[in-house]
Chains A and B, each alone.
Chain A
């Protein structure tokens, strides 16, 4: 049950590694032919800071970020709820599994990017399409994990709960759902990063705002500095989201993590 404490040695390595990366980048873009195509880190960081008060297109950078985050959270949130329902249904009912499993297995390997054209065709280039594209990636991951989790619920525990007077309806909330929670969370971790990737893809086609749009805009105007600003923001936010999910998981599934 030992808690991971702040580890100074690791932190030093991390700082040194990142510093080396920036030095190498600076070196390449100052002394080698790479400088003809690629901006140096100082230019990128400068634009990054400027973009907090100078709008790019219609919004400053935080505005674009919030737009992208909203799309991800709506898509991810709805997909997570639907995925949990479908996954658990497939994992607990033979019928649901017989009906939905084949379709699901067929659609599962298709990445969100492959859906872009079709989704735009049906739903236009508005927000709905963005939500749906973010949702697709999240949905498969969550469904699959909820399904595995529900299949592995210990029948003995269900029997036990029934014995202690739990009604059939409550069995779901009191036994099935908590049993699957660790699995579902593992799925949500992957789902969130898939959603985050999907929003960028969605925004690179037919959007007026968002992080993906920023990169597309940079690319269209040959502003590689802007492209790189977009990339850095995406990387940082993606990392932040993953860390946040892990923290929530640690809170909700502490009983499971302690086993290790």
Chain B
């Protein structure tokens, strides 16, 4: 969208080892503010590890190199980052609406605004009639929609998505992809979107980062300036999709 040259995320010489296992091998790239970037790579190449290192969740610290947001080391209290995990991660002791409202309560939104935002988000992911349900009563795809609504609700500056639609059926996926694009265009959020699905990457992204097998490096960076709204039957679309598919044939 925005032809902004300002860099939001700067990854330099990112290296991560688990013991002797070299997973991320000296990777460098930038993400511009407002950009929609997709990352594709084989299973186990370290895509999830990258996001965990970016957010410094748990034991994940880079072995060497650094990741900066706005030129500073990542600080979740300061940088408004949302992360949609590969596995659904709704809080089981909260209802659907409480889950979606969680981040807003933490960020001390006023009550009426929380209510409005939650309703909007639930409407977007189609869970309005399930708002009083607990996660144990929902199906897998509904659970993932809860996580998505919860992450979008806080209107993050940086949205990290780890194969979020992998377990959803196609029609819902298309709908949520379009919703995501709309949200991204509307809010100017920067998105890093990890996926297995090449068509999905071509449909969504402005830039595609293709990763190699372990030890993982960048195979190629592809600029995707197909006009929006995109059409999966379009010739140019298919050309780009085939180009990416060729790159990853060796997986």
Which of the segments A137-145, A154-162, A230-238 contacts the partner chain?
A154-162
Given contacts A159-B57, A159-B85, A255-B92, contact A165 B136 (CB under 8 A): no
| Nearest CB in chain A to that of B78: its residue | A165
A155 touches B58 (CB 8 A): yes
| Nearest CB in chain A to that of B103: its residue | A164
Within A144-202, the residues touching B (CB, 8 Å) are 154-167, 170, 175, 178-179, 181
B106 touches A259 (CB 8 A): no
Select one of A165, A253, A254, A255 contacting B76, CB under 8 A: A165
Given contacts A1-B137, A155-B58, A259-B136, contact A163 B82 (CB under 8 A): yes
A254 to B57, CA, bound (A): 30
B235 at interface, CB cutoff 8 A: no
- Please report the total number of A residues contacting B with Cβ < 8 Å: 26
B116 at interface, CB cutoff 8 A: no
B193 at interface, CB cutoff 8 A: no
User: How many CB-defined contacts (below 8 Å) exist between A and B?
Assistant: 69
Shortest distance between the CB of A70 and any CB in chain B (Å):
32
B136 touches A159 (CB 8 A): no
A181 touches B93 (CB 8 A): yes
A163 touches B106 (CB 8 A): no
A258 at interface, CB cutoff 8 A: yes
Interface size class of B (residues with CB under 8 A): 20 to 34
4 residue pairs, one from A and one from B, having the closest CB atoms: A164-B103, A259-B136, A159-B57, A255-B134
A sample of 28 cross-chain residue pairs with beta-carbon separation below 8 angstroms, ordered by A number, consists of A1-B137, A156-B89, A157-B91, A158-B58, A159-B52, A159-B57, A160-B89, A161-B91, A162-B55, A162-B76, A163-B57, A164-B103, A164-B150, A167-B77, A170-B106, A175-B91, A178-B91, A178-B93, A179-B93, A181-B93, A255-B94, A255-B134, A255-B135, A255-B136, A258-B134, A258-B136, A258-B137, A259-B136
Using a CB–CB distance below 8 Å, which chain A residues touch chain B?
1, 154-167, 170, 175, 178-179, 181, 253-256, 258-259
Using a CB–CB distance below 8 Å, which chain B residues touch chain A?
52, 55, 57-58, 76-77, 80-83, 85, 87, 89, 91-95, 102-103, 106-107, 134-137, 147, 150, 154
